[in-house]
Each structure stands twice: as C-alpha cells, then as structure tokens.
Structure 1
C-alpha cells in the first residue's frame, strides 16, 4: 500500500450529495468542438475494483493510467454531466509550462518549488502531446507560446519581477515593447509584454472529448450519472437514481465537489471566472486586426483580462471572478460579466468595434487559500487529486497520472513532491468566507484598472 501522506486520514461512514454540477450552456469551446455521442448513463448494479469521480482532465488521466497499470481490472469513470461540458472544457486553453504561482509577486515564488512545478508542467505537456498525436485528437494544439502583457504601471512592475524570476530558473523569454506588439497581436493597447515560447495553445473541450473517446478498453465511462450518496468502508457503495456501484477503491478528481463527498470540507474554493467569444472574423476584419493568426495573452495582473485569437479566427475575452460555494453557474453573474467583456474588448480592438459575442460562459476553478493542492489519501480506500488552482490542463493531467502511478506502488521525485505538499489551508467559516473572498475578488478587479 502506498505510504500515507501528511494529512490525517478521516473516518467517514457515508454522505448524501447535496449539490451537483450545473454549468451554463454558453461555452463556446464545447459547442464548437467536434460533436460526439455521449456515453450512456450507468444503470443497474456494477461491481468493480476502481471508481473515478469526474471525467475532466484529472479524472481522465487517472482512469487512463489506472487502466494501464491494472490491465486486469475494470475502472469505472463517472461524469455527472457530459464530457467536455464541465470546468475542464471551459478554461482558456493554455497548457502552460512555466510555474504560474498567482500568489507570488513574480509568479515564480520559491525557486526550489518552482523548479519542481516546472518539471510537473513539462511532464504534463509531454503526456498531452503524445496522446493527441497517438489518437489523432483534433484539439487545435499549437505550441506557439504565450504573451504576458501589461498596460498599467503596476502590471509593468509585475513583468519586471516575472522576468527576474525566469532568470533564476534559466528559462527563455523575449521582452516586446509596446511599439512592436501590433506586429505580434494586432492591438496597440499594451505597453509591454513578455513572450515565453513553451506554452501550448489548444481547444480545451475538444481535448477533453478526444481523451474520453480514446480511453483504454478496461475503462467504463458513464456520463450523465451524478452520484447521490456514498457509503464508505472496506467496500464503497456509490448510489445514483438509476442504480449503484460497489468498488474497492474510490478516486476523487472532482475538485471543489469533493467536499460534497465528505472531504476537504472548508478547504476548497470554487471560484468562477468568465469568458466571451466572438463570431468568426471575416477576411476583411482579420486584415484590419493584423498580427499573427493565432496567439494567447495572459495579463500581468492576475485580475486582468486573458485573450485568445483562435485558429478559427474568433477572439476570446476572459475576466471577472465570483465565489459561489455551491459550485454552480449563476445567470446574474453571466449578465454582469458580458457587459464587462464588451468594455474590455472595445478597449483592445477599436479596429473591430461592435463585433458581436456569440458565446458567454462561466467555469469554476478549484482554488485553495494557500494555492496548494491535495494529492493522496483522503480516507480508507479513498484517494484524491484535487485543487488545480487555475492550472487545470497541466496540473490536472499530471496529478491524475501520478496518482495512479502512486496507487500502483511507484515512487519518483514528482510523486514525492506532491505527497509532501502541505495541502490546502482551512478556510474561515461562513458568512465570513463568502464576504471575504468576494470582497477580495471585487477589490482585485477594481485595482486592476485598465488591465481588466
């Protein structure tokens, strides 16, 4: 049995699941990705050795690797919604190689920790590249790097700090002054950017769908199967409205919804961020924009605006944050952020003023107060890889994979690093938590100024 990590293993008898995922239907990535027929929901009773909850990037990686490590076992993968519809298909499509600690002034933090995170991210990128190539997944994968751009003085200071952090790690970058940026990204809005070449840009929902449709034969994927209750013990029983499953080992890869299963309660923060995507730009609009045909920008200020120019020539604008403890989408926030997205868009693309948004959506990030994730045991026969802290593509891919390796008895420096993590800090109680988190989010967005 793998060595227990630093957290005390809880004894949990059973729980009723009170909150279920309920994402909005506006995600452009999902609707524009290749169509697929969802796998049927589970029904009846199944007995298996393994069950994985959540078919996002972490769950898909864990189920795939468990199936490969235990080829004689059935691995059951349960998804409450459709594959690609949840959080993993709603991010901005940056598979970032570099450390990206948004809690550190230079995005790097402790150099030793940053070096390990760099290794984790590079290992995740290698997995993604291999699987996309091996299975011919059509997810618009482009290893084009990313721009981190600034307009405010505070943002420029962040870029300088980030540059010094990259120097410590010996990582390549290019400083691009504002006068030269239009040749790269079309817009003349920004004063400076750091270009780093190692980021992979992709279509996140298409990636998730492709990974789901290329799972090993001993993975049984069931979609539209939200779990309603769990009984823990030597055998774990998962119940839903159409039947039940009895399994020996349970792996939770459902981020903030892990608290509904009785674990890490008061330690996970479902923070929503929001995006809008335009219709496809016409040929004349593309010419007016200029710059490179595909690119991605992340803001110097973590509360600023993320941008993508997609291979099918749409512009994506992402900003706005809200803390929603139930982990569910909220139409009031969608209406509010659509106005903010229009304002951010018009600032950056006056040459394309009025191009309408075709999609607006929200998606939850599994955040923690100290930006630390959970990796390893949660209770007897229950394990988790939880809390990706805004790096779902790379962190989800690698932690899901390494958790399965660890369960198979393997150890290496990456597994030891994850096992040795301090884990998520405890949050303040309600109502102070919601007031504090939403207050900090609002203040951060206000202070971002023109970066938003």
Structure 2
C-alpha cells in the first residue's frame, strides 16, 4: 500500500478561476467503484486523456478524479499562452537540433489543434484569441537572445517579425521594451475557463469526480485508489498529476514542483484603455526566462506574472503572496505609468512541473500504470497533446510523436534533500537577480 504523503492545497484567489464562468462541480466519489480506466488529475493532460480514451473505448467507463475543483488548480493558474514553437533554453539559438525541434513543433501544434477543435465544437467561452506572442527585451542581453531565437526559428521555417522599441506602443501600449520578436502562432486564452469548459463537455462514458483527493493506493493486478469516503478500482491507471506523481511512488527525486506568481488587475475603464493604446489583446513573454510575463486580456485586465519558489511537496506557501505582490506592482508601474490607479484584484501562485534536464515522462510506469507528466512550463499545448497521445498509446495506436515521446530518457534524478531545495532555490534567486529590469 502506497500512502500519499502530500495533497494539493492551492491558495484561494486565482484570478482566472474567479473571473470565469461559475459552474457546479461534479460530486465527490462515495463508496466503492470499479472501472476499466482511472485517471488522477483533471487538468489539461487528464482531460485530454479522458476524452481520447472515451473515444477509443466507447463501451467502457473512464473515471477522472480531481482532488480540488476543476479549473482551480495549476491548469487554471498559468498565463494562458498556448505556444506552438519550441524554445530550448539550453541551445545557443533556442532551437538546437532541427529534427527534434520539428517534432516538438508538431507535438505543440497537435495540442493547439485539438483544443481549437473542442472549443469550436462545444462553443467553450474561454477568450481564445489567435493573437501570437511578443518575446520582448529590455536589456542588450535580452536583445541578443531575441536575435538568436529569430535565427533559430528561421531554421525550422517559422515566421517571426522583429519590432523596434519605438514601434512597440502601437502593439502593446507600453514603451518600456527596447525590442520585441513577434511570433504569430501562439494562442492566448483564459485557462480556467478553458479547463471548466473541457470538463463540462466530456463524453458520456467519462465520470468526473471532484473534491476526491486520493490518500493511498494499492498496486496489484488491478489498481485501487483509496480516499476518505471509499475506493475506486481500475484495470488501468493514468497519472496526470505532474509533481504529485512522486507521492504516488513514481519518478521520485526527478520532478521539480516550482511555483510562479501572478496578479490580475481590475478591468480598465474606457478612458484607461484609451490612455494605454495598443492592440486590444496581446501577450508578452520575457526574453530572459526569469523576467515578467504580461498580458492584456479580452475583458481588459492586465496580468503580471513573475517570481519563483520551489516546494518539493507541491504545495504553495501563503507567505510569498504578499512579498511577490510587491514585485508585481513594481513591474506594472515600470511598464504602465499611464495607468497609475489600477489595482490588482487577484494574486495567486501556480505550480509548473520542471525537470533538471527539461525532459518530461511519457509512457508506462508499471505493468498497469501509465503517466504523461512534467510539461516543463508548456502545460496547455504539451499537456493536451501528451494526454491525447497517452490514450492513443493505451489503445495500441502508433504515431511518430508517440515514438518520439517514448524515446525520451525522462527526467534526470536530482540530489536528496536538503541539498535539492537549497540548490534549486539558489538557482531561482540568482536567475531573478540576473533578469534585472526584465522583471
């Protein structure tokens, strides 16, 4: 019997969740249940896996289990960028091996197209916008990164446009940045609204249980998931719970649950929108990986996302919220001096699952246990794609992207505690220091 030593416990003010359509959560599971398939984690990966499994096995029940409420956890706390292009921060041109980069591009595009199809079919209101993204720089170091990335994108045939700082206010209102690389393929969306809509449009043979945290698990010929009010026994289990997979007995000392912090402003008035100028919807990714992500949303709010902390139990720490809110306020004021009285309504943390070597896990963890885990910051597209493909793998389908994913060496092993936390948090602090005014 595997005891689950840590459960999700996210903080209470995720802006995307509270500003998206309210829904009635599905009831928690009570009693005993048997099903052919069970999936732990109703984020983007788990939702895609459940939908695709239900299509492959229409006569079998797929049970999808969520510890909290759909849209409240990490899938609804990211910045809302569904990115197509690869970005290998370990390569000089941020693309690296062209063959690998093209496969990553296909993988991300698969995730994008799958989401587009579902959103259109079920009329999911999630502010989906084909807006592209701006990779923007403040420093000379950042500009060098943009130039290198543009040359890398050209190698894989992806269009991009370098925009001078003097022209940027026409695009994003602010004159803060010296230069930006516009990449057209990114989709912007409201992540919590997306996840809620995906959950409410699942096939009829998917049973979703919310507020059902698993407290222990018995691995045998069948897998039995035990919680405080009963148990669920399945022939096949899929783990789609990222960093929490290590608490289920797999990939221990290989997953790095890292938290990013976001703040969402109140809605801008018509007069403030006019003062800001620029396009009505846009998203900025920092040239430096530790800089600030900034968005202007469809409903005229400004998102600021920056600052990091690492917590191996996968649970955030409330004390960081007020500290990092100050960072968000400074970042906002630097960029938007024309908006002096715009306050933040929501501040929250959101987990991303990283690995030391930037590799995820995809495939079989045990004889009847599969995993699609560790998206390394690309949860919307990568999580969706790998969720769909893990269902295809279980159904016996073959695909070049399945072969590509199963060839991965998986996440590297990391040092034991306390050296791991000391090391990771030191890297995060140093990275944020080096980012300078990019934050």
TM-score (norm 1): 0.96
Counterpart of 1:346? 333
- Contact 1:148–1:193, Cα closer than 8 Å, also in 2: yes
Q: Hey, what does 1:83 align to over in structure 2? A: 70
* 1:20 equivalent in structure 2: 7
2:424 counterpart residue number: 437
> Is contact 1:271–1:324 with CA below 8 Å preserved after alignment?
yes
| Pairing partner for 1:249 from 197, 218, 236 | 236
3-state SS, counterpart of residue 404 of structure 2: helix
1:69 corresponding residue in structure 2: 56
Residue of structure 1 aligned with 2:351, choices 349, 352, 364: 364
Q: Which residue of 2 aligns with 1:336?
A: 323
Q: For 1:37-96, what per-residue CA distance to the aligned partner results, in whole angstroms no more than 9, with x for missing partners?
A: 000000000011100000000000001111110111110000000000000000000000
Separation in 2 of the partners of 1:332 and 1:104?
36
Q: 1:105 to 1:333 in 2, by over 3 A?
A: farther
Measure how far apart 1:323 and its partner are: 0.4
Aligned position for 2:305: 318
SS of the equivalent of 1:362 reads strand
Aligned to 2:108: 121
Structure 1 residue 300 and structure 2 residue 287: aligned? yes
Structure 1 residues without counterparts, runs of 5 or longer: 1-13
* Structure 2 match to 1:10: none
SS of 1:80 mapped into structure 2: coil
1:45-194 alignment, distance < 5 Å: 45-194=32-181
Q: 1:105 to 1:359 in 2, by over 3 A?
A: farther
1:109 Cα deviation from its structure 2 partner: 2.4
Give 1:388 shift: 0.4
Q: Deviations over 1:3-30 (max 9, x none)?
A: xxxxxxxxxxx31011100001111100
Q: State the secondary structure of the residue aligned to 2:349.
A: strand
Give the aligned partner of residue 31 of structure 1: 18
Matched, 1:211 2:169: no
Distance 2:379 2:38 in 1: 21
CA distance in 1, matches of 2:90, 2:60: 41
Please provide the CA RMSD for this pair: 0.7
Q: Which runs of 5+ in 2 are unaligned?
A: none
Count of aligned residue pairs for this structure pair: 439
SS at structure 1 position matched to 2:232: strand
| Counterpart Cα distance in 1 of 2:136 and 2:93 | 14
Structure 2: how far apart are the matches of 1:272 and 1:103?
21
